Structure 1
Amino acid sequence: MTTDIDWDQPIDPKPGWTLDHVKLYVSSGGTEGQYWNNTQTLLLTTIGRKSGRPVRTPLIYGEDDGRYLIVASKGGDPAHPLWYKNLTEHPEVRIQVGPAVLQGTARTATSEERAAFWPQMVKHWPAYDEYQTKTDREIPIVVIEPAA
């Protein structure tokens, strides 16, 4: 685990609904913001691959056997989201799920895992299927394993 990172001073999203969502989540200690638009969200903090600073992003999540699942969809954009690029270089992450703040390690799901997890994640956010049709890239699913 990276020890010289100040996880408590992350870079938050630019002004807009995502920043508003992060502020609500954090200011309420996770009692508000976890549930959004009929689904569940967590706050993912990655280490910026260029800045070396923590960067926080709200994302929809699923769960599988104590692990957290997130989808690197970027709405079907041809490029991966920046948070995904960050964690492929620096797999150490922090997540906030409701009031719980956890350190963990992130990795891209294997092809077999993705095949199993995709329908589960579409149940959380049906638009993922539409996003996949908009891009030639296979949209990755990320598995976050909390540290023991």
Structure 2
Amino acid sequence: MRDGERYVLAASNAGADRHPAWYLNLTANPDVTIQIGRETFPATARTSAPEEKPRLWELIVAAVPSYRDYQEATGREIPVVIVDRAS
């Protein structure tokens, strides 16, 4: 989902008790290539800071309400990932 010029992702793993592999990959190497439609561009991913997460989480849940169910299904806190275009 878009948040201004950046993108936000929920590392939900459908409510499983472990992080999805793609999230672990991003924490190991935050330099990514993003494709939106036909456009491809380099970007950098990071886990949202605690003060950023509440607003971004509500943005995600407003667009896809099932993410709230995923959070309730797991004992882990689902990370929100912020992806910024590389400069």
Distance 1:65 1:120 in 2: 12
Among 72, 76, 85, which residue is 2:15 paired with? 76
Report the Cα offset of residue 141 of structure 1: 0.5
> 1:1-148 maps to which residues of 2 (within 5 A)?
62-148=1-87
Report the Cα offset of residue 120 of structure 1: 0.6
Report the TM-score, using the length of structure 1 for normalisation: 0.57
Tell me the alpha carbon deviations over residues 41-98 of structure 1, each in whole angstroms, 9 at most, x when there is no partner. Answer: xxxxxxxxxxxxxxxxxxxxx1112011010000000000000000000000111011
Partner AA of 2:16 in structure 1: D
- Residue segments in structure 2 that go unaligned for 5+ positions in a row: none
Q: Which has the higher contact order (CA 8 A, sep 6+)?
A: 2
Report the Cα offset of residue 112 of structure 1: 1.3
* Higher Rg of the two aligned structures: 1
Moved over 3 A (4+): none
Partner AA of 2:13 in structure 1: K
Identity %: 43
Structure with bigger helix share is 2
- Residue segments in structure 1 that go unaligned for 5+ positions in a row: 1-61
